[in-house]
Structure 1
Amino acid sequence: MSEDDKNPARQVIADYAHSHFRYFRTADGTVYAQKNGHPVARPIRSQGTTGSHRQELMVGLFKDGVGVFNGTALKEALDLIEALALSEEVQPTYIRVAPGYDGATWLDLGRADGQSIRIHPTGWEVKVPDPREVSWRRTQLTGELPLPARDTNGKGIDLLLRLCNFATAETECLAIAWLIGCLGPSVPVPAPFLTGPQGAGKSTGGRMLVRIIEGMTGDLRRAPKDEENLIAAVAAGWVTALDNLSHMTPDLSDAMCCIVTGAESVKRALFTDGDVFRVGYRRPLLLTGIDVGVIRPDLAERLLPLRLERPKVRRTEAELWTEYAEVLPVVLGSLLDLTVKVRAVDAETPTDLRMADFAHLCAQLDGATGLGALAAYRASLDELNDDVIEGDLLAQTVLRHAESIEPGEAQRMTSTEWLHCLTRLYSDEDMRSLPKGWPTTGKVLSDRLKRLQPTLAARGVLIDSGRTREGRYLEMARASAPPPHVQEAAF
């Protein structure tokens, strides 16, 4: 063959790549490659240790006898492939959990053969998804799950609860509801906060819950020191578990709120002058600790306290995790069976709770099992409101002043007038000095009260704001009757 008839190496690589791989792009412009018929996608620019497309392309060329090519040819071929793929269809990639066709959702088992679990209100099955329906993205945090057991009759749930040290039946049903919520890609779930006395097995219990979704390699991590590292850890996995929290800064609290309900981070792309890349994230979050101090009201609405107790009989780590690994297929199978039943239930969505999707899931769980998850969730929120009030002197002072207001009536003043009123109420009785963080201006007071609105409303104190010809005002009123959810929780 003459030199003119030979194809350049980059053309040989590109032809081989397009015959063996499917290329597409995501909404942010990242180009991914999938082996034909396989759901796992890899970014073509990745150099990660979990296996890059460049590596699998080189191996394929070598094993199929096409040849071994130098780095320049591979780079030129990948540059061409990336340019061509930018005109292809847009398809998202998912980590661990993904939406599917016909109302189904998928759970990635993390297996090399691509087998995944399709969950539908009519049942669940293990199969390899169509790559055009689901494209999995995997990282070093993507562990392998065992194949779930069939026909468990719910015994896996009992086995899990026996291994964990949950203090009450209410705590157990909330933990189950959270696990079901983790299997839904579009359901924001509150962050479980595993708490209890020293030696209650909080870290062990957290690992057990996480590993049902993330496999035996799933583990707890220390909270990163800054938001950027936290976002990186969150974006690389599905469930983010932070261990042994003893203090929560305002920045960390705000970041956790964003993780639970969803947010987006925009940063400058490296080695560019003006390009940016977007990182969108909404992930299940799990926390452990004895006490994190003062809880901000916005985070309290997104927490799910799960109290543990000290076990009466201690076991070695080796014994405990050996048994856990043995029962994990049964636990996963029972959880999938229960998820199918719950999703088939038609239930009303409570309209008075911040995390309405999770409240609806609890109502569905009650319809399927009668566990009382919704009442337990309301009671947990009421308990968290108590924690917020106990840690906020301004909230305590507002509640004291509200006792002088008749039920059904309201008082209206400017924010400055309210500041003087509440300051006198706090300091005059014992001539106490104002605590650190007490509002110093009417604007600061107004902002603090807006943040406390849900907490105060749960105690029957309603805060409203508005404007008249004279200027802006704050209005404080007492509800004529306790909020309905408080009555239900007490019942």
Structure 2
Amino acid sequence: MADDEKNPAREVITEYARSHFRYFRTADGAVYAQRLGHPVARPIRSQGTTGSHRQELMVGLYRDGLGVFNGSSLKEALDLIEALALSEDVQVVHIRVAPGADGATWLDLGRPDGLSVRIHPTGWDLTVPDPQEVCWRRTQLTGELPVPVKDTGEEGIDLLLRLTNFATAETECLAIAWLIGCLGPSVPVPAVFLTGPQGSGKSTAGRMLTRIVEGLSADLRRAPKDEENLIAAVAAGWITALDNLSHMTPDLSDAMCCIVTGAESVKRALFTDGDVVRSSYRRPLLLTGIDVGVIRPDLAERLLPLRLVRPAKRRTESELWTEYAQVLPAVLGAILDLTVKVRAADAETPTDPRMADFAHLCAQLDAATGWSSLPAYRACLDDLNDDVIEGDLLAQTVLRHVESLAPGEAQRMTSTQWLNCLSRLYTGEEFKPLPKGWPTTGKVLSDRLKRLQPTLAARGVLVDSGRTREGRYVEVERPAPIPPHEQPPLL
């Protein structure tokens, strides 16, 4: 055959690719390739060590006897495929957990064959999802999970708790509630903060909780030094686990708030001047540490502190992790069994906590098991409010001032007048110097009070702001106590 009658290499590659793979785009414009009948999708531009579509295509062409093609031919073919895929319908790719049809959710086991867990209203099954329903995205952080064991009852839960050192039964309930929340793709869960004295097994417990969902290869990481690296790590996995935190900067605190409740990052695309790359994320977060210092109020509303104690008897790492690997299939099966029961339980949604979805999950867990996770969650939030107040001298001064108000009395002043009033109250007759970080202007004071609003409201102090013809004002009120017969019942 003459050379001009031969198909160019790029056409051979393109024809092979379109007959063996399905190509589509995501909302952010990234193009993915999905082998026909298989749920795992790979970005065609990825060159990562988890296996790019370019590598997948080269191997397929070679194994099917079509030859080995040079880089320029592959690039031309992939450029054409990418251009054609941009006109296809938009589809979402998921990491580890995904919503499904008919109220079901999916858990990716990270296996090469695509076997996954489908959690539906009447139970859970092991199956390979329809590629049109679920597209899994895999990264280096996607570890393989064992095949879970069905119908273990509470035995699997007990096997897990026996390996950890949680301080109380209520703490254990909250840990299980958090794990169930991690299996929900649309339910934000608070950031677990494992705390306790040295030697209480915080890092070990953090690894065990994380590996139930992320596989035995998952591990804890140090907190990145900048937000960009933190977002990159968050976007590449499902649970983000940060170990041994000793200090919480304002930037890191704000970033963690965004991770828990969801946000979007936009940055300039490489080698371009006007194009951007979007990255949306909302992930479960796990932290460990003895003490992180002052906790900001907005993060405190999104935290779930779980305290551990030092064990009476030590075990070797080898013995501990050998047993954990043996019981993990039963533990995962028990968590899945309990997830089905909890989702089927009927419970009212508490409206007082910031994380109302997680509070509702705790109420469902209590209805399904008879546990007391919701009261324990409320107690945790009260403790965190105390921590915020103990670390904020302005909040303490506001509470001292409110003690001079009668129940039901409100006081309205400008922010500058409030600054002078609270500063005089703090310095007192001794004229002690104002502490570092004390508001220096009325505007700074007003902003600080807005941030402290939820914390002060939990202590019976209402802070509001507004504007009249005379100007802006800040109002502090000490509400009258609610008569017992008018108080709403606790769930």
TM-score band by shorter chain is over 0.9
2:63 is matched with 63
369-378 or 331-340: which moved more? 369-378
What's the counterpart of residue 29 of structure 1?
29
Runs of 4+ residues over 4 Å off in structure 1: 487-491
> Which residue in the other structure is 1:244 paired with?
244
CA distance in 1, matches of 2:389, 2:303: 15
Residue 441 of structure 1 corresponds to 441
Q: Tell me the equivalent position of 1:79.
A: 79
Alpha-carbon distance change, 356 to 86 in structure 1, aligned in 2, over 3 angstroms: same
- In the alignment, is residue 303 of structure 1 matched against residue 326 of structure 2? no
Query: Match for residue 405 of structure 1?
Result: 405
Match of 1:420 in 2: 420
Identity in percent? 82
Matches within 5 A, 1:215-230: 215-230=215-230
Change (3 A) 1:154 1:488: farther
**Cα-to-partner distance string for 1:275-333 (whole Å, 9 max, x where unaligned):** 00101110000000000000000000000000000000000000000000000000000
SS in 2 for 1:163: coil
Q: What is the correspondence of 1:455-474 to structure 2 with a 5 Å cutoff?
A: 455-474=455-474
Q: How many angstroms apart in 1 are the aligned matches of 2:463 and 2:349?
A: 25
Per the alignment, residue 91 of structure 1 pairs with 91
For the structure 1 residues 377 and 139, does the alpha-carbon distance in structure 2 shift closer, same or farther, using more than 3 Å as the test? same
2:155 alignment partner in structure 1: 155
Q: Which amino acid aligns with 1:437?
A: G
- Residue by residue over 1:19-60, the C-alpha shift from the partner in whole angstroms, topping out at 9 and shown as x without a partner, is 111100001111000111111100011111100101111111
Letter in 1 for 2:169: A
Separation of aligned partners in 2, 1:235 and 1:490: 38
Q: Are the counterparts in 2 of residues 378 and 489 from structure 1 also a CA contact under 8 Å?
A: no
| Matched position secondary structure for 2:207 | helix
- Seen in structure 2, the aligned counterparts of structure 1 residues 326 and 202 have a Cα distance that, compared at 3 Å, is same
Question: Structure 1: which 5+ runs fail to align?
Answer: none
Q: Could you say what secondary structure the match of 1:321 adopts?
A: helix
Counterpart for residue 388 of structure 2? 388
| Contact kept? 1:13, 1:74, Cα under 8 Å | yes
- Equivalent position amino acid for 2:341 in 1: K
Q: Is the 8 A contact 1:95 1:137 kept in 2?
A: yes
Write the distance in 1 (CA, Å) between the matches of 2:322 and 2:488: 42
Local SS of the residue matching 2:360: helix
**1:185 corresponds to:** 185
TM-score (normalizing by structure 1): 0.98
Answer whether contact 1:375 1:488 (CA < 8 A) is retained: no
Looking at structure 1, the residues matched to 362 and 137 of structure 2 have their Cα atoms a distance apart, in angstroms, of 30
Task: State how 1:215-294 maps to structure 2 within 5 Å.
Answer: 215-294=215-294
Secondary structure at the residue paired with 1:234? helix
Match in the other structure for 1:313: 313
- Residue of structure 2 equivalent to 1:170: 170
- Give the equivalent residue in structure 2 for 1:128: 128
Q: Note if contact 1:379-1:489 (Cα within 8 Å) is conserved in structure 2.
A: no
- Figure out how many residues of one structure are paired with residues of the other and give that number: 489
CA shift, 1:5, in A, is 2.9
Q: Distance in 1 between matches of 2:241 and 2:263?
A: 18
- Structural RMSD (CA): 1.5
Residue 348 of structure 2 is matched in structure 1 by: 348
Alignment match, 1:54 = 54
Amino acid at match of 1:184: G
SS of 2:220's equivalent?
coil
Measured after TM superposition, the shift of residue 482 of structure 1 is: 7.0
